[in-house]
Amino acid sequence: MSIVVIARILGLIAGLLAQDPEAPRAVFGITVVIPSALQGRIYHIRHNTKKLPDFETMKPVGTIYATSLNIPPQDFRQGFPEVTKRFEWFAIDYKGRFWVEKGGDYGFSLNSDDGANLYIDQELVIDNDGQHPPRERIGAVRLDRGVHEIRVSYFQGPRYQVALVLKMARPGEELRIFNTDEMKPPASP
């Protein structure tokens, strides 16, 4: 069975599951400013883009804010609320800051469809770029106590599936959804 057929089957299953009105809907972000959140700049990209674009040479078409990136693999027809009316060929470049209370080796996981890269303090930690079905990549980086920069660059290429899930593991812990609300500096030093 081809990857495209498998992706379509998974998309249909995800679409059926997503029809539950009680289920929370995964979103890429909202337009309401959240100061401690990741700020995502939205870009339209050319048809048949094969990898992440050079965002520095492009003009954004909008901005969204997200405290976490938790869009599990799902059918692209669910749309992209608050992002764009497009169902394909767009990109989002998320940037933000987070606080690490305890220094050590931190693990990260990035699941995406299509391409996505994770940068911590401007260092590439996970390369998951290119057109592909949902695919998870892992990486690790040593972080000192203090504030760190985070960037997740993402693009949605052709139809069928969409996914963007960022997880993090503190030293000695299991991976869980990265959330800026949990990574704020203490109220008093």
Average of pLDDT values for 20-39? 69
Domain annotation covers residue 17: yes
Q: How many domains does the chain have?
A: 1
In a domain, 188, yes or no: no
106 lies in some domain: yes
Sign of CA dihedral 80, 38, 48, 50: negative
Global pTM reads 0.82
CA distances from 118 to 107, 122, 138 (A): 12, 9, 10
Contact status, residue 189 vs residue 147, Cβ threshold 8 Å: no
User: Does the pLDDT value for residue 5 go beyond 60?
Assistant: no
CATH number of 126's domain = 2.60.120.1560
Each residue of 38-59: pLDDT tens digit?
999 999 999 999 999 999 999 9
> Is 153 a domain residue?
yes
User: Which residues span the domain enclosing 59?
Assistant: 3-182
Apex 43 CA angle, 28 and 68, nearest 5: 20
The dihedral of CA 87, 40, 163, 36: what is its sign?
negative
Distance CA 139, CA 53 (A): 22
